Structure 1
Amino acid sequence: MSQLSTRLRKIREKRGLTQVELASLCCTSRSNIACWENGSRFPKFDNLITLSLQLNVDLDYLCGLSNNLKYDMSSLNPNTVSKIDEIIKKDIQKKL
């Protein structure tokens, strides 16, 4: 199993989510979540971003590129954080 599959499952379970619940949050299917967790498939880039945002973990951590679990947005100015928030909300609305 890749670090992504291992970390994804552990984080989902730590958050108390089922595969069905995470799939709903990420606008995907339970079978996709299962495949990503068992390592038989790798999520597309937009799915990775959505997983990272919905699970509130750093994308590099989720992919096994870093051991920093959380985003460090402390160096960003409030305007940048606001723009990031806007982009995320628009992306989520497109998927609904």
Structure 2
Amino acid sequence: MTMRYMQSFNHRLRRLREERSLSVIELADLCGIDERRIHAWESAQPQGRQYPDVGELVHLCVRLGAALETLLDLEDASNAGQLELPGLTNADGDELVRAVTELERALTVVQPSDQERELLRRFRAADQEQRQMILQLLVP
């Protein structure tokens, strides 16, 4: 059964991926998952379609630089202002704590470290020639 806020997820994900000129393989690499997951998420066939869990959904939004509402059908939700995430419907307190803990863990994984932020700051401060040299060193 598809949750109401995920009904057009497959179309929204595909459109967002295409707007960013990413192939399925490129998006899978960007998210660190198997490309079959992306194919399953974008599947036009309801029988073969799958949905990301909370951590994957947040990771996907962070990697694509997209707001959560870009991928979910929130405007049609009957409970305006309420957001149910996969795995949280009819959740008891323990399930909710586990889901929030999983979400925090997923957010921690995608957050850059202090060292990564400093590298990004320095990269952004570099001129175009320096950036090219840095990229040549990093990309095999």
Compute the TM-score of the two structures, normalised by the length of structure 1: 0.66
1:52 matches 2:61: yes
Q: Does 1:33 align with 2:38?
A: yes
Shift of 1:61: 2.3
Query: Letter of the aligned partner of 2:72 in structure 1?
Result: C
Cα 1:29–1:85 shift into 2, 3 Å = closer
Structure 1 outlier segments of 4+, above 6 Å = 84-87
Which residue of 1 is the match for residue 112 of structure 2?
89
Instruction: Please list every run of 5 or more consecutive structure 2 residues that lacks an aligned counterpart in the other structure.
Output: 1-5, 76-106, 114-140
Inter-CA distance 15–87: structure 2 relative to 1 (3 Å threshold): closer
Number of aligned residue pairs: give it.
75
User: What is the CA distance between 1:65 and its match in structure 2?
Assistant: 1.4
Paired AA for residue 88 in structure 1: Q
- Pair 1:3 & 2:12 matched: no
Instruction: Pick which of 16-25 and 1-10 moved more.
Output: 1-10
Deviation for aligned residue 1:57: 1.0
Secondary structure class of the residue paired with 2:111 = helix
Letter in 2 for 1:46: G
30-39 or 10-19: bigger deviation? 30-39
RMSD between aligned alpha carbons? 2.9
Give the number of the structure whose alpha-carbon radius of gyration is greater.
2
5 Å matches for 1:53-92? 53-66=62-75, 88-89=111-112
- The percent of aligned pairs where both chains have the same amino acid is 33
Unaligned runs of 5+ in 1: 67-83, 91-96
SS in 2 for 1:89: coil
TM-score normalised to structure 2 length = 0.46
SS in 1 for 2:12: helix
